[in-house]
Amino acid sequence: MARLPDLAGADLRRVRLREANLAQANLAGAKLGRADLSGANLYRADLRGANLSDTDLRGAGLFEADLRGAYLEGADLRRADLGQARLEGADLRGTRIDGDTAWSAKWRQVWQLANEGGAGAALSGADLAGAHLQGADLRGAGLASADLRGADLRGACLASADLRGADLEGAHLSESDLRGTLTDAATRMSPRWRLVCALLAGAGVGRDLRGVPLTYANLRGVDLRGADLGGAILTRCDLREANLARTRLHGADLSYVDLRDAILDGADCTEAVYTQSGWRPTRFPEGVDPRAQGMLCLDEPNDDG
């Protein structure tokens, strides 16, 4: 077989490659959106990080292909052979499959969770390592002893999920809803997310949290009355409806934080920094004037002309 050119990062959008022989081709990071790859031979092809959105992969041979981190939203995988393919981190939301799509039970389950949700699902001991479950509805799911290492759970709803004994080492939990989750000493997760779970469980009242980094944490409704958050890094936190009465927020980073409907009675917000422009500026409770609270704006407009 003739050696294929290195197609890493190539722009192949809308290209017709129907039944093409691309076995072992290097297509890492390639742009293949809306391309026709139906019936193509992609045996052991390197498709890491490739954009395959809305790509026609019907009947494609993807046996042992490396699709880690690939973007497959809207791709047609009907009758495709994904046997032993690497799919860690691959975005399978919106992909089309059928009974003839050949892949492991693990990735079929991941597809179901990503596309149909798993609220209340019995997933104890499930292998979900490396699964892309961003924004998935897993509230109340039984995930005891599940393998969630390296899973992408950003923005996922895990409220009231059972995570006792689950392994979440390296899992991405930014903006995920962890309210009411059940954890225990056997649950493996980073100290930051274990702390978030504890705070949401009521362990934040009067707590010393000075300088603690809580970036991207979903702390909606948390009770932090009287806590010391001096110098804490709260960038992009969701603190809607949080009780921050008498909380010390002196020098805290409140960039892009959502504080709508939070209680700030008696809180010390002096020298806390906030933003007022950009995609998601700091949002305050109605009637709260950050300047009057002694806060500092990071992106103050320059009036010097």
137 forms bridges with which residues in the sheet?
157
Estimate to the nearest angstrom the gap between the alpha carbon of 261 and the chain centroid.
25
Measured in degrees and rounded to the nearest 5, phi and psi for residue 296 equal -115, 130
For 54, half-sphere exposure in the C-beta direction (CA atoms, 13 angstrom radius) is 6
pLDDT in 10s for each residue of the chain, 305 residues: 556 779 999 999 999 999 999 999 999 999 999 999 999 999 999 999 999 999 999 999 999 999 999 999 999 999 999 999 999 999 999 999 999 999 999 999 999 999 999 999 999 999 999 999 999 999 999 999 999 999 999 999 999 999 999 999 999 999 999 999 999 999 999 999 999 999 999 999 999 999 999 999 999 999 999 999 999 999 999 999 999 999 999 999 999 999 999 999 999 999 999 999 877 899 999 999 999 999 999 987 655 43
Number of Cβ within 10 Å of residue 266's Cβ equals 11
C-alpha 69/C-alpha 44 separation (Å) is 15
Domain parsing of the chain, residue ranges: 1-103
Model pLDDT for residues 253-279, shown as the tens digit of each residue: 999 999 999 999 999 999 999 999 877
C-alpha 210/C-alpha 52 separation (Å) is 44
The answer to whether the beta carbons of residues 235 and 253 sit under 8 Å apart is yes
Coil, helix or strand for 107? helix
- Regarding pTM above 0.85, the answer is yes
Query: Which CATH code for domain 1-103?
Result: 2.160.20.80
Number of Cβ within 10 Å of residue 256's Cβ equals 20
Which has the closest alpha carbon to 42: 56, 34, 54? 56
**Degrees (nearest 5) of the Cα angle 94, 98, 100?**
140
Coil, helix or strand for 196? helix
Coil, helix or strand for 33? coil
Number of Cβ within 10 Å of residue 179's Cβ equals 20
